[in-house]
């Protein structure tokens, strides 16, 4: 079973910055689970640029693309006033991040092994 850690708010910035440093360029999928609209894919298997938390604006931003000719444009997905950040790392082959917003909208950022293309 995967080890899932619910991060304390004070850990968000450093943990997400470390995740960026460890996984930049990997393939990721960004999925939205919206209580009113349903399940949607925002990005599917695009190169991961970064994920960070800005405490001043109270927003988490995940970005993909923007570093190659194949994906020259950066797509940024913003999660305003997040209430929960969970990180699955132990016991899973690739990490995943779950971010919950106040209205219940949940964003899943899933990383993929480079050999799974």
CATH number of the domain located at residue range(s) 3-116 in this protein = 2.70.180
Model's pTM, two decimal places?
Answer: 0.89
pLDDT by residue for the chain (117 residues), tens digit each? Answer: 457 889 999 999 999 999 999 999 999 999 999 888 889 999 999 999 999 999 999 999 999 998 888 888 899 999 999 999 999 976 667 889 999 999 999 999 999 976 555
Which residues, at least 6 apart from 16, have a Cβ–Cβ distance to it below 8 Å?
A: 51, 52, 53, 60, 85, 97
For the chain, domain boundaries: 3-116
């Amino acid at each position: 079973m995967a080890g899932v850690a619910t991060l304390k708010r004070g850990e968000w910035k450093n943990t997400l910055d470390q995740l960026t440093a460890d996984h930049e360029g990997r393939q990721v999928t960004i999925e939205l689970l919206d209580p009113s609209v349903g399940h949607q894919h925002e990005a599917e298997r695009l190169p991961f640029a970064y994920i960070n938390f800005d405490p001043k604006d109270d927003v988490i931003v995940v970005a993909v693309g923007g570093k190659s000719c194949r994906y020259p444009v950066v797509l940024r997905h913003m999660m305003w006033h997040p209430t929960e950040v969970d990180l699955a790392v132990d016991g899973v082959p690739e990490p995943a991040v779950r971010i919950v917003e106040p209205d219940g909208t949940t964003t899943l950022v899933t990383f993929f092994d480079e050999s799974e293309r």
